[in-house]
Amino acid sequence: MPGATSTSPGAPDAETTTGGHPRRWVALAVIAIAQLMVVLDATIVNIALPHAQADLRISDADRQWVVTAYTLTFGGLLLLGGRIADYWGRKRAFLVGMVGFAVASAIGGVANTGEMLFAARALQGAFGALLAPASLALLTVLFTETRERAKAFAVYGAIAGGGSAVGLLLGGVLTEYASWRWCLLVNILIAAVALAAAIPLVPESRAHGNTRYDVPGAVVVTAGLVSLVYGFTRAAEDGWRATSTLAFIAVGLALLAAFVVIELRSGHPLLPMRILLDRNRGGAYLTSTLIGAGLFGAFLFLTIYFQVVLRYTPLEAGLASLPVTAGVLIAAGGASQLLPRIGAKPLMLSGAVLAVVGMAVLTQVEADTSFVTHLLPAQFILGLGLGFTFVPLSSLALYGVPEHDAGAASATLNATQQVGGSLGTALLNTIYTSAVAGYLTNRVPDQTNQVKALVHGYSTAFVWAAGLILLAGLATLVLVRVRREDVPTGGAVHMG
């Protein structure tokens, strides 16, 4: 399942020292707990969404905000969060991010309206954008010896990759045996444990030098993305030609263009344009955006399909979603071994083909589709494709990047995945809603046709998701020209 962590801009000041912090391994456990909390929210809420939607009477057109409110603020503020953590203090940012995330989770857990839940999810994303880069920066400071750092990043990456599976299972258990609200409230317990341990065990550190923040850039890019997503949402209700739809999309595009201008003129840009303008890195970021766009919405519809059409319980839906995670973990391990031998491009192209095949099989879902013979292999193949794509993407994002830009480059990759997921979820949800309404036109809206309409909507969304992943493969084919020996294989970014 999709989830991402980010490195933080700025060179750690403790990296020049010999050895590591005496309590570094205990601190790693604390940081891992906090990271697990952030990763869980990528999947745990998907399982709870059908129940939350019914409880709070959220429309089909608006339910995507439960996902996109989080991913928009997380992706839009991730680079700014990394800079704040570096210069404000990594431990301080880590603690504030954790407390803020827990408070936002509490607000979401007691929400009595859809708007209140959306606001809480946006707040979670904002504090997550502070917590995630602070966590990874702390690891870089704590572990200064190469082998130990590799082990620490392996643990961190395992949390990022396996946390989605934990979220699926935990979301199923909490929704089925307690309430969907506990899928958010559980973060309070996790944060309390991590906070109590972090205060005495995690050391403070900060970077030195230019401490100015590109706040205008962060505000403009986030506002632009929100306007664009809201325009997609209006299309589901008013149509693509409606004035409100076109106005919000136009404003969103204008703000994103303004963001580029701000970054080009800023002396301390949030996103240095030199990072994007390299052909290979630009190809990696475009691929990441398109993959995120195709997957976030598709995963959301898959968990809803399990519960609404196939009548799985939340726990059964969580278990039924695990083949994707299994495929990702297996392929990621193989890709790590193959990357130095065959290079990034062949792996990414193979991954795109597998992911498109898996998604294409999902387009054939029916009201009584077999899990064992259809849904399980389709998800596993999709997961294999993602695993073969994520690992080389992580390395390609660092191709030819100067050391002082490495944090921004890897954080940008994660931000593009989140932003792509936001736009894709909104777009696919609009396409789904339109497909359902179109199917019911001139048909009797009885129970049989209602179910057929839902299945038609899911199938249509999966077709578009497959198209977005195919575009990602084409972007790789056309733009990526890097040689095998030029791509770093250190795995600076962990995605799962």
The Cα–Cα gap between 353 and 347 comes to 10
In this predicted structure, which of 86-100, 111-125, 392-406, 480-494 has the lowest mean pLDDT?
480-494
What is the per-residue pLDDT for 163?
78
Instruction: Please tell me whether residues 106 and 19 are part of one structural domain.
Output: yes
171-208 per-position pLDDT tens digit: 999 999 999 999 999 999 999 999 999 998 888 877 66
Task: Provide the percentage of residues in the chain whose pLDDT is more than 70.
Answer: 91
Instruction: Please tell me whether residues 132 and 206 are part of one structural domain.
Output: yes
Instruction: Please tell me whether residues 142 and 225 are part of one structural domain.
Output: no
Confidence of residue 362 (pLDDT cuts 50, 70, 90): very high
Whether 18 shows a pLDDT value over 50: the answer reads no
Which of 267, 285, 303 is at the close of a domain? 267
Instruction: Please tell me whether residues 50 and 76 are part of one structural domain.
Output: yes
Which of 165, 182, 211 is at the close of a domain? 211
Can you tell me the mean pLDDT for 158-172?
Answer: 82
Identify the domain containing residue 241 by its residue range.
Answer: 214-267
In this predicted structure, which of 117-126, 305-314, 324-333 has the lowest mean pLDDT?
324-333
Residue 111 CB partners (closer than 8 Å, separation 6+): 56, 117, 120
Instruction: Please tell me whether residues 91 and 185 are part of one structural domain.
Output: yes
CATH number for 293? 1.20.1250.20
- Highest mean predicted confidence (pLDDT) among 124-133, 163-172, 325-334, 366-375: 366-375
**Structurally, how many domains does the chain consist of?**
3
Instruction: Please tell me whether residues 239 and 330 are part of one structural domain.
Output: no
Instruction: Please tell me whether residues 489 and 458 are part of one structural domain.
Output: yes
Whether 1 shows a pLDDT value over 70: the answer reads no
Instruction: Please tell me whether residues 250 and 279 are part of one structural domain.
Output: no
Whether 368 shows a pLDDT value over 90: the answer reads yes
Whether 224 shows a pLDDT value over 80: the answer reads yes
Confidence of residue 489 (pLDDT cuts 50, 70, 90): low
Instruction: Please tell me whether residues 299 and 235 are part of one structural domain.
Output: no
Instruction: Please tell me whether residues 333 and 246 are part of one structural domain.
Output: no
Instruction: Please tell me whether residues 10 and 154 are part of one structural domain.
Output: yes
Instruction: Please tell me whether residues 326 and 229 are part of one structural domain.
Output: no
Which of 195, 211, 227 is at the close of a domain? 211
Whether 494 shows a pLDDT value over 90: the answer reads no
Q: What is the pTM of this model?
A: 0.85
- Mean pLDDT, rounded, of the chain: 86
